[in-house]
Amino acid sequence: MGLAVCSRSTGRALIRPLTNRQDTTNSLGAAVEADTINYAMAGASLRIEKPVFHPGAWSPQFEVGIEHEFENTYGSYTGEENYLATKVGFGRRFGNSGYFNVAYSREDGFTGARHQQALTFIYSLTF
């Protein structure tokens, strides 16, 4: 179970998921004790994106922000609570109501203990 509140237009986010796995079984069907994972994060970002309305138009995108983890059960592994989140990408609108987006994103901790990166490809279709 979890909760996620995000407003892309303002660039603010508050995430508070709680995962509870108390009813876990092993491959033989016997009950085993499992961890409870707690996570809470808040962030703010600035997103610059060219809107596209016509087929064939390109949309460059850039986003930069700061995120802070208030609670993270697994946070002791990195020891990093504050990090810089950046994203660059582009999108293209197609004539069949489709939109293709490619983006590269990174999260870098201010102390250097955290580094995550992702490359995403998204194709969406309006119907």
Residue 33 phi, psi (nearest 5): -80, 135
Report how far residue 122's alpha carbon sits from residue 59's, in angstroms, rounded to the nearest whole number.
14
Structure confidence at residue 61 as a pLDDT band (50, 70, 90): very high
Is residue 21 over pLDDT 70? Answer: no
- Kindly write down the DSSP assignment for every residue of 16-52, as one continuous string: --EEE--SEE-TTS-EE---EEEEEEEEEEEEEE---
Tokens for 94, please give them.
């197609």
| Residue matched to tokens 């995962």 | 19
pLDDT value at 9 more than 50: no
How many other C-beta atoms can be found within 10 angstroms of the C-beta atom of residue 116? 12
pTM of the complete model: 0.66
- Work out the average pLDDT over 83-87: 94
Q: How far is CA 67 from the centre of its chain?
A: 11
Q: Are the beta carbons of 63 and 87 closer than 8 angstroms?
A: yes
Q: Which residue has the tokens 């508070």?
A: 16
| Distance of alpha carbon 92 from alpha carbon 103, whole angstroms | 12
pLDDT, residue 8, reads: 44
According to the model, what pLDDT value does residue 2 have?
Answer: 39
